[in-house]
Structure 1
Amino acid sequence: MPLPWRPELRSPLSDAEVRDAERELGVVFPGEYREYLLRRNGEGRVNRLRRGAAGWGWEGDSRTDLALLGTDFPHPDSYRDDEDRLDAREPQREDFADEDAYGTAWQRWDDECGVLQDRKTAGAVHIQGKGCGFATLLVLTGPHRGEMWFDARATCDLILPMRLGREPVSFAQWFARGCETLGVW
């Protein structure tokens, strides 16, 4: 057992462990992230990939929906219409004869909102928590595979790509720059 004042040593994963995680999670990690797992895993402020009692997952990450990892990461433009349709269907109190019927309708609507919110980060892992509901995402699937995005929904309801100039930021670029949010817009 490590001493309480010493951080636990974080060893890299073996190739067999990385393949096992990929198989279980239903993804193939982008090359730069795979190399990181084989050489560093959990160094710095990056959530460590590890196998726990429930299987493979990221230490410190309770927001990634593991069931949606194999689904392509959606560009924000792809769900704006869904948001608008859902917003337009929000139950209004004055449309219901009693409070219970309104409460039931509103709860069903809110559950639909939660499903849409989960879909917004499908195919991405919350690789680093930034506090107060903010997170850095690494996209694992789809056309944006290997790119870093910033989940700023806590204040502006947006998920934004990280950029260096006009180019997407890769995991290696992000890590080399100290795991900071880069050129978000």
Structure 2
Amino acid sequence: MVDQWAGIRERVATLSVQSAGNEVFGALGHGWVLEEPLAEDGLAELEEQIGVRLPEEYRTFLLHVAAGGAGPAYGLFPVRRTQGRWRWEGDGVDLADLSLLAEPFPEQGPDPKALEELLAQRPEEEDFDEIENFDDAVEAWDEQWDAVMFAPERTAGAIVICHLGCALREWLIISGSHRGTVWADSRVDDVDLKPLLDDDGKPVTFARWYTDWLERAEHTVMATSPDV
């Protein structure tokens, strides 16, 4: 499994010096910089703190490529040790409850019928005479919606690994039957989490997620850069 990461750092470094590197979506966010890999003892301490062994593809990436940095969208969120504790850093990482990482990721999300009924109750401005009353109704409805869609239990056993902007994110499942796969989070658009699927309809694992991005980035740079 380590062999699949051979040459990855070098390929990213090559892209970093190409004039067309910034044509790749999100490159201005991560700047083509990869952090240093984790040491074995650091990874062991991280896994001890969260109470679960990370999926093999991800943990070998951490050991042999980087702790985070250049990657899909605005980059792979880094995991860092701060004041003796390990944590992931990036936009939205606090959505993941680190105390629940050893719990299995839920097999099912919220009941679709219940979500449909709740969406039908969303306040409409034209139904209110006063804007203050409308704002109060929206705030109350948002609290109900967030309690269902953003409950910590919904993302037990998962970590946020990147963001695509506009509150769209992607998660890596680290516990349960979906362990090792990457899921899209479009809850900001009222859509529950869904697994990323390849062209054959199979769930995308971490290695496929990262290497597919790298291949697309190389294609973009080669197609637009006079340097290659």
TM-score w.r.t. structure 1 length? 0.73
Q: Could you tell me which of 144, 147, 160 is aligned with 2:178?
A: 144
User: Which of these two proteins has the greater Rg computed from alpha carbons?
Assistant: 2
Offset of 1:161 from its aligned partner?
A: 0.7
- Equivalence for 2:56: 31
- In 2: Cα distance, 1:171 partner to 1:125 partner: 12
- Equivalence for 2:220: none
The answer to which structure has the higher helix fraction is 2
TM-score w.r.t. structure 2 length? 0.60
The answer to which structure has the higher strand fraction is 1
The answer to whether the Cα contact below 8 Å between 1:29 and 1:140 also exists between their aligned partners in 2 is yes
- In 2: Cα distance, 1:58 partner to 1:174 partner: 18
- In 2: Cα distance, 1:9 partner to 1:148 partner: 20
The answer to whether the Cα contact below 8 Å between 1:46 and 1:179 also exists between their aligned partners in 2 is no
The unaligned stretches of length 5 or more in structure 1 are 1-5, 91-102, 181-185
The answer to whether the Cα contact below 8 Å between 2:109 and 2:192 also exists between their aligned partners in 1 is no
The answer to whether the Cα contact below 8 Å between 2:100 and 2:156 also exists between their aligned partners in 1 is yes
Give runs of ≥4 in structure 1 deviating > 2 Å. 6-9, 81-84, 109-116
Higher RCO by CA contacts (8 Å cutoff, separation 6 or greater): 2
- Equivalence for 1:178: 213
Structure 2 SS opposite 1:135: strand
Offset of 1:131 from its aligned partner?
A: 1.5
- Equivalence for 2:83: 53
Residue identity (%) = 31
Q: Could you tell me which of 90, 99, 111 is aligned with 1:80?
A: 111
- Equivalence for 2:98: 66
Change (3 A) 1:68 1:179: farther
Change (3 A) 1:147 1:133: same
For 1:79, the aligned partner's letter is: P
For 1:149, the aligned partner's letter is: W
